[in-house]
Every structure is written in C-alpha cells, then in structure tokens.
Structure 1
Amino acid sequence: IRTQLNESVASIKVVTINQKSAPEEKLDYSRYKNTEKGRRVIAIGGLTLSRGLTLEGLSVSYFYRNSKAYDTLLQMGRWFGYRPGYDDLFRIWMNIDAQNWYAHIANAVAELRTDFRRMSANRLPPSRFGIRVKAHPDTLIVTAQNKMRSGQEFEHSISFSASGVETAYVAKDQLNQQNVDWVKQFIKERGTATTQKNKYLWSGVKKQAIAQFLAGLNISNLNMQFLPDHETGERPLVKFIENNPYTTLDEWDICIPQGENDIVPNFLINTGTDVLGEVACRSRQFEKTPKSASYFKLNRQRVGDTSDEKVGMSISQLAAVENAWKDELAKDPEKRGKSIPGYMYRKIRSKPLLTIHFIKAVEPKVKPDTMMKAIDIGTDPIVAISLSFPDFDPESKGKSVVYRLNKVALRDLIGEEEEEGDDTD
C-alpha cells in the first residue's frame, strides 16, 4: 500500500473555485473524460460551491459556512457527496453547531413532507391547505425575511386537554386485518362489558393498557395527531398517554358503539349474562384515494358522531353540558338550531374515553366522482378509533413548539372548531 500512495495522490490538484478561477482550473469534467485517472481535485470555494455546483464523485467534504437560513443550508447540503458504491466512505466534517442545524432541519423537512402527503390525500391545492414549518428555538431562520411573505410565526401549545382525536385515515388490506385481530385480543383481555344504550362500555382501564393497545395498532401517519417522532420512531401521543403525570388520565373508559350494518365475524362480547354480545358495524362513506395508497379516507374525516362523547358521563355531567351550551347560545344566537358539539362534552367529562369503531363502507350519496364505491373498499370490517380527553390541563401547560405558518394554516389553527352533525347509521 505504501508504494502505491504517492501515485494515487499525485494527480490530485488543489483548486480554488470562484468567478475569477482560471479556465484550466474550472471543473470541466469533459476534458478529462478519456484520461486514466479523470479529474481529481481538492476544491476550495465560497459562493460558487455553496450554490449547488456538482462535484462528480465527491466523497469528502469539509463544511465551514456560517449560514443561518434553512433554505441556504439545504442548498449547500446538496453537494455533500453521492458517489455510487462508495456510500460507506463518505465523510462530512463540520462543527457541532452545524451538525445540530442539519439535524433540526431534517426533522422540519420530514414534518413538511408529511403535510404535503396530507395535502395530496385531501386533493387540495396549496391555496387551500395550511403549511407549517417548525421554527428553530435559537439561531436559525426558515428563510430570509424578504422571502417570508405571508408566513407568520406562531407558538403552538401541544396539549390534548379537552381535545378529540380520530383516525380518519384507516389502514387497509393486511394492515387492517391485523388491527381487527388486535382489537379482538385487546377486548378479550378487558373482561365483562356493561351496556349503555347501543354501546358496550368498559371502565377503569389503566393508561398503560391503552398506550400498549395504541402502540400495536397500524395507524397511518396521515392522522396528524399520531405523527411519530422522527428520531425515535415512537408516537408522542402514545408516550404521553403512558407517562403523563395527570391523575385524571390514569384510568380510561373504552367504548364499542353498535351500528346497523353487518356483524363483525368471530367477535363476541362478554356481557356478564348467558348471552354473548355481537358487534354490528357502522356505515360510512369513503372518499377516493390512490390505488397504491395504504389507507382509506373516511368522508369528511369524521369517524364517530357526537353521541359517542356522552359515553361514561353521569346524568349530572350531561345536565352541566346542556346548561353550558345554553350559555353559549345566549352569547352567540347564530349557533341556535345546532346540536351540542363534541368539545362541550369533553370540557365536562371526568375520564378519558377510547372509542373503537368497526366500519363498513356504503355507497356514496352525493358527489360520486369524488367518492369510492363500496365494492372498491371491500366487505371486511374496518377499524378506526377516537380519543376524547377531559379538560385535564385548564391552564394549557402543554409543551410549546414554534412554527412558521402560512395564512391558511394560521386560520385553521386559531379559528373556531367546526363540528359536523351526527353521522347516523
């Protein structure tokens, strides 16, 4: 090896790449196409390199540039190396600050890509879809201020207090069948159920069991509240349920509502009597999704209905909800005639609720061009879930994350919550 070292490096030249570089020092690879060793250089440069100049066969980079904008750093990152077959030999040298910058930007870009997939799944143009980019807590800016335009910085508190979460994007094919089997196993371990009207109810289920159940479900990342952490792969919502310090969230209610569609095969509920209970699927419509997608999308992104929110609540609590809603109507007469929205129940309820839905597709009633036929969904029951959190954090002490939002995202985030009417079977 030592005898070959000199020959191997002798053809390497150190060149400065900028606007004033001599013609023979320009990175013109075509002039060296038919030579034995090709063009072999140590290239040193500023703006010319940082604007995305391609260095063929680049394998080692020494990065020393003090830029503080996401877009500039990403642009410079394009020439970090891409020599096929030599991936294990790539070396990028930079100081610890730059390493942390790129780690933060990688997470922000991953979140942004997920938002783009949601936009595509919703078939919405950019003008109607809210886009957000996570801001850096200290040094970095998303882009230069003169390029920011309608973007505004907004501090979003991540708290699930008095909130509702649904999986409107549901798994299909084998992933869904795994969910059905997982639900059957989970419910079997819960023991005897009580009944509340047309719903099965289990009370006092420990939060660890809820977290374990959610962790075992196949949940599409298009359900925004279930986005996994890009570093650990774990879902922060599931970890919060398992490890949160709020005593109000220690024990959960579990509900399986009944519909008027087909019976879920090979699934019987222990009701504490001689007669085992069956589960009838709810009827729902589905919007069109790409054939290659691993999910189906429920119409209007609504899984349950408002009556689900009443499960596990006492008569006095339901009365308190009705009185609170009367106060709302007195303040805003335009709300008269509307049913009590779900968030009113979540403000009053004392325990969190997990609702497990078994769903069958039905033919679309309106806009058939944008909806899927039942035959395209299939006949197997589809699993979706809803989570209803009580108001366990009235002072909103949730973790704060700063995002740079466009106008649509800002409107969606701070606008009033819109509740759909009951989607009855």
Structure 2
Amino acid sequence: MPLTKENLQSVITIAQTVLGRMPDKSKVTTALIAEKVAMAAALISPEGLDEMDERAATDELVRRFSSWIGQDSTLQNQDGHIAWLDASRQKDWRYWQRYREWSERKMSTAAVDALDRSTNIILSNLEDPKRTGAWDRRGLVVGHVQSGKTGNYTGLVCKAADAGYKIIIVLAGLHNNLRTQTQIRLEEGFLGYETSGIREMGRIIGVGEIDSDAKMQPNCATLRSDNGDFNTKLSNHLAISPEERPWLFVVKKNKTVLERLLKWIKNRVADATDSTGRKFVSNLPLLLIDDEADHASVDTGEQLFDAEGMPDEDHQPKAINSRIRKILHSFAKSAYVGYTATPFANIFIHRRSATLDEGLDIFPSAFITNLAAPSNYIGPARVFGLRSTDGRSGGLPLTGPIDDHVDKSGAGWMPVKHKKEHVPMHDGRDSVPPSLIKAVHAFILACAGRACRGQRGEHSSMLIHVTRYTNVQYEVYQQVQGLIGRMAQRVKRQIDHEELLSDLRELWETDFIRKSIEIQERAPDLMGSSTIATWDEILPEIPNVLNDIDVRMINGTAKDALDYSEQEGVGLKVIAIGGDKLARGLTLEGLCTSYFVRTTKMYDTLMQMGRWFGYRPGYVDLCRLYTTTDLIEWFEHIADASEELREEFDAMAASGGTPRDYGLKVQSHSVLMVTSPLKMRSAKSLQLSFSGQLLETVALHSTPSVLDRNLAATNTLIREMGAPTETSPRRTRNGAPTEWTGSFVWTDVPGEIVADFFSSYSTHPLARKVNSSMLADFIKSMNSEGELTSWTVVLVSGGDGASYTFDNGIRVEHMLKRTADRDKNDHYSIGRLLSPRDEAIDLHEPEWRAALDITLRAWKPDPARQKDGSPPKNPEIPSGVAVRQVRGMGAPGVAKPAPERGLLLLYPLDPAKAEADLFDGWTAPVIAFGASFPSSNSGQKVEYKVDHLIWEQEYGAAD
C-alpha cells in the first residue's frame, strides 16, 4: 500500500539520519540505503513500502549522498567592522536549529552543513546587533538562477533573529504573487505558523512542527493573503517595543507600500532626532533583505559628481531606491543584504553616491559573497555546455529549436516586435503553431512519465513565455486552454483520438526514450536509478494528466502562488502563461517544459527569464526547453561569460580584493550586454578596459572577400615583424618539456605594429566581445601610458589540417581544426579558439609555477560551473586570470610587473576541417586570433558610444 507523502518523507528523514551518523560515508552504498529505507518504513508503517515508494525513497537518498557542494567565496571590506560571531554566540540558537532540522527533511545533511557555513559567513560580515552606537553594513549575495537563494536568506533571517536583530524587512519582488510566495516560504522556515491576522496565529506549519514554543514565535506584520502586504489599517494600530520577539515584514518593492512603511517607522518606531530634526530609530537593529536586488532597487537616475568625486546632495533618486535608502537611513543600526543571480546593476552603483535625505546608495561596500551550488543543480553550464576547442561540450539534450512562431515575412503567430493589440494567428487561423502543440505534448508526457516513477503527487509545471503584453497573453491562454480541452475530450470520448495518441507515442519513443538513455549515460548523478517507462505504461496515465492540467495566466495575484501549497500531496499540473510576472523570482514548482520566445539579449534580464534552471530530482530527462536558435546562442554566450566573471571573482577573493575592486572589473568588462545602460547610469557611452582579459574570436567571417582582407593583414604583420625569434618553441612545465611543434614566436614586437594589425583585421559583428577597431584604440591608449608596448606574437601550428606558406617564407605545416557549429550557416562559429596551455606560452617556468600557485589558491569547486556533476580535480595548469596577473602585476621573487607585455596568438584555421559548407571555394587559412592583455592599474579605457534606442534595438527591453 503506498504511503502518504508525509510518511514517505518521514521514511527518508529517518534513513538519512541513520546513514548520516556513519563515520565513513564512502561505505554508503545503494544496497545499504535500500536496507535503511526498509528499516525506516517498518517503523512508520507495519505494512512497509510498496515497490514504487521504496524505489522513490532509495533514489532520493542515493541522490543526496552522491551530491557534493561547492565552496563559496567572499570579497570583503573590514573598515569600521568589529568581528563578533564565534561559537559562544551561537549557543542555544533555536530559530536556526529548528530551521536546520526542517531543512534536513528536504536536503542532504551535507547541503544543510553548507548552508550553515554560508549563512555564518554572511552574518559575520554584518555587525553584531548588540554593538552599541551607530553602524551600517551593506552587502550582496550572488547565487545562481533558481539555485536556492530564498532558502539561504531564510537561514540568514533565522540566525539574525537568534543573534538579536529586532526588525527584519524582506523586499520580495514587484508583484503580489512573488511577495506571497516569499511570505509562505518564510512562514514555513522562520515563523512556524500561517499568518491569519496581526498577532493572530493560524495553523502550525514548517519549523513550527519542530518547535512551537510560544515564547519564541516571531511576530509578523504582513499576511499571506492577496491584500496581506503592509497596509494603512495595520500601520495605524501596530507598535513595536524593543523587548519583544523579532518582527518580520514581507513587502513588495512598491512606492506606496514602502512609503507607508517608512512613515510608520518615522511616526511609530523612531525614538530619537538628529541635529537636522530627522527622526530615527536608535535602539532597534534592522536587517533589510532585498530579494532580486538588481531589479527596481537600483537608482537609474544619473547623479552628478564634482571634480573631487563628491556627489550632488540634491540629487533625487528614483522612487523605490529612494524609499529603501530612507528606511535604512532611519535606523542608527542597520544591515542591508541584497540577493541576486545577476549582480551587474548593483556593481554599477557609484560607491560614494549619497544624498541628505536618503544617505548612502546601496552599493555593497562591506562584502559580496558568491554562493556555490550543489552538484544536483542544473544551471546554464549543464543545459548549454561550455566552450571547448571541439565546439560546445557537456550540454544536456534538452533544447528544441523553434522557428514557426513567425513566418518568412516576420509576421505570424508571435512576431519579434508586436503591439499590445496583436492577435496571434498561425497560417491565418486562430491556433497555436505546431511547435507549441509539440511542447504541450511534451508536457503531457513529462507528467505521465513522472507518474510512472512514483512522482504522481509532485507538482509539474509548464512555462509559456512569448509576450510581455497582458492582452496578448490572454489570447494565448484562450488558445492553449482550448487545445487542452479538445485533447481531453478526444481521449475521454474515444472520438478522433487515434491521431493524437499516435503523435504522443511517436514523441515518446523517438525523443524521450532516446534522450533519457543518453542523459542516463552522460549524467548518472542526476538520474539515480530512474528508468524510462514504456509506451504501454505511459498510455493509461494520459487521460488522468489531461483532466488534471490547469491552464493559468500569471497576472501577479497571490492566488497564483498559493495554488501549489493548496495542492500539496496531490500535485498541481499547471501550464503557466505570462510575461514579466514570470521573469523574476517566481518559482514554478516542478517545471518540466518551457516554451520561450522573448527576445531580450541583456545578460541579467535573459538569465532571470531562465526559469528552467534549478533542481529536477529524478526527472531531468523529462524536461524540455523549446526556444529559438538565436536565444540558444545567447544563453550559451552568457553561460561562458558567467564562468569568466566568477573566475575573476574567485581570483580577487583569493588576493584579498574588495567589492570596489570587483565593481571596477565588471564596469570595464567588454561583454556589452551585461545590463541596461539605464541601470549603469551611462546612457551616452560605456568606458571599456581590456586589461586583464583574454579576447578570442569565436564568430568569424566566411565570405572570401573578408577572409582575404584578414589574411592580408596577417601577412603584413608577419613582414613587419621580420624573422621569428623561435621556431617550435619548447617550455618546461612542472619539470617536463612542452613543445609547440611547427609554431613561430616573435618577441618584443612594438605595440603600434599590433595595433595596425587590429585596425586592418575585420572582426565579425557577432563576435560580441571582440571588436578589432576598439582593440586598436585601446592599445594606442595604453601605449601613451607606457603599457602594451612590447608584444609576443605566436603563429600557432600543430593541428591536423593542410600546410600553408605565409609571407617571408613562414610555412605552417599543419593548420588547425576548429569544427563549425552547423546551426550557424551565415558565419563560421566555433567553441573555444585557444587551447588552455597556449596563453602561458610567454611565461618562463618560475612565472608559470607562480601562476599555477595563484590558480590553486583561488580555485573554488562549484558544480554550477561544471558541464558534468563529477567533483573536479585540482587544476594542473594556470588559469588565464592568473597568467595575465603574473604577466602584468608580477609575482614575488619570480617576475617583475610588466604591463607592457601583451600576447597575440594567431590561429590559421583550415576551412576544409570546419566540417561545414561555408566558404565558397576558399582554401587558404581562416585567420582567428586570441589577445591576452596583462593586468594593469593604469585605468585606461576606450569609449563605446551607445544610446538607449540603439541599445533596445540591439539587445531588447530591460526588465
């Protein structure tokens, strides 16, 4: 007899506790897990487990005990901070203890231990709430999209309350549904009861089931209902005294709500006045948590600064930013912690921005913590893979490209640019395109497949995100609701159902079964012992799934968020149709299928729209993402850019960097689409620096006229450099020789010759980071400072391509092979150009070892940055970040700073080895390059002109 979901969870918890006490976790085998599951089941139910429940419990524990957790890293500024958090302060912390026990019901012990460590680091970077006098700490926590940031700040709230913070404000998005979702999560993890009224407790839930002592139950000034935000009626009757238990406020980022909260603080809580007459709270320490901190919180107005860098105190910040800052400024003791997966807008905040009324802006001056993810997290690297010299590798086969949402004229069902009056029509009919029908079929099959695996009672969701306009969403809602209704009737009445079932069977057998087997082979850590059902097992589930599916518009009301909790144990099966309300923060439980054709290309907006990242225990192989090839390319690009920025972050943390250092690095990063120029307050231009960066051409022209121009630029460079310094260079690496057979090296090449090469070379417009004319300008700018004046240039050989003779008799015996992406037929698109060892070719052995030491000190294993879930090995070669640091900044005892040393790597690619019909008879080399710029403190930048209109046309609207 199947157990209830609650009893099944108890079985898992008991078995995990027993297994967790084993000193040697390597002895926890699948057989031992199954044995302990049976033992726990006997305690819960005399009848034990049925076969499906036993397999589900065992699979869950196998996943928990086989996962590993990455390491966080932190940049911090300790100015004015007094260290305070030690073991003695953590004795008898009851809020945290009950949250820990409750979390262990859903997570592995290792994951909860990691949460404990992570929240300790964050809390320790805040101020001791018992510290006397005035203080202010502002920080930022950066997590991965849909990776568990809410769980992290819930743990932080519990510990902050234990430590003595009295007022805790959580800013939870812009819409009611997200605020309510956050309220419910905090009721489960912190309050321990449902909110039914101010000072009125509803049903005991979550942590309250572990410890419901009335003496420690926090107060809450907001409710889970649709109108449960902080309101006027409540504010008129609410008073707080310092001896009471902590108060929680979960509020929207809404001007009216924040203004109401601010007035209440001034009129009801403030107990002191400063010399200007400003009221403030002197005795109650405040913790303000800003969820999705890059969204709405950032002041997009442009504040002026004088010649000394002092801010204009009369500047008027935007409404929400102003209220957040005024709330913080109303407390003598305050701590601000922003949470986001896309921190770029926050980094662009000027660190000295301040006004009289608002005080300092919310730049995270005290710390930035980069959260790692557990190995069962499925992020961009797992979905889209990472670049390699053989193209992209490691991505799971979950994406399905679509193009029938528009017709050849650019019109059709959902054109890229449409108005709010648009009526979606496919082939002139009021219907959805075939790709959306296929996506709906995939969702039906995913629900049926999960039922066959014992996940019948779990939530399953489908996302349809095709327009930001509510009117157009309603039209899509009507179409999809009609589609589901007709399918259900055909199957129920057994009338005209054969074609539908035939289509479903074909999709299951040709797509799902094949890909499930592939994912089981490539990512066994995500699958456990999950097996793929046969069609005969799937077929009986289809009628139930069709009857259970609820098509829903997500319009920002609280009801959308509440449905999951109301269907707990039964499992909601929902198709969610929405736009901006779905783009930020809102969690779609059990998201299986996504249909996505929004067109923004901004890093932060696009990442936030990626609701399909997260955790898919036991059903990742049933998930599908249907989107355009263009958006797949952009997601691939931001997966690479994200890895690059996190690598930079870890290197800075290892070298003792501060948030300001990271801000300067991100501001000068050459990925131009990181965030809206409004959020950067740089509407007219971007100031870019390439110092400390590697740029490589991975999008190349394929037309002979441009290829000829680039080959001519290379021949001119070779002639001007003269005879090579080395042929087939040899270097010692870890005591062993390494050779670049057939390659040529020139040293001490003047910077102006390299700049001329870039001026003559034509980079492809889709080489987003690499603009040859800007590189030429940057080198000339650095030359004026005495930097980038002496280059090493390498013509790389050693592939398996044909030979080619350049000018001066320079003959490459074997051009290199880089396979083309066959989905890109308008240009030559490759994965990685550089082989990892090449960037250090100009380092001598002591410099190379110094760079490897820096790499090992900075190295933080993070599963979200892996293309598979296996624990990574320690690096055996230096990272590019470390190589550029040693080259430019030097290393004690082995290298002097040499910011004049640039490295240009020329790669002659054999078009015959591209494995694509792109080149129209061109047989000479396709010249690609990598430019490695040493780290520098000169601050030289080049200007990139842009205005809001051009930006929006190129990258799409901001969120």
- TM-score, length-normalised on structure 2? 0.20
User: Higher strand share goes to which structure?
Assistant: 1
- TM-score, length-normalised on structure 1? 0.42
Taking CA–CA contacts closer than 8 Å with sequence separation of 6 or more, which of the two structures ends up with the larger relative contact order? 1
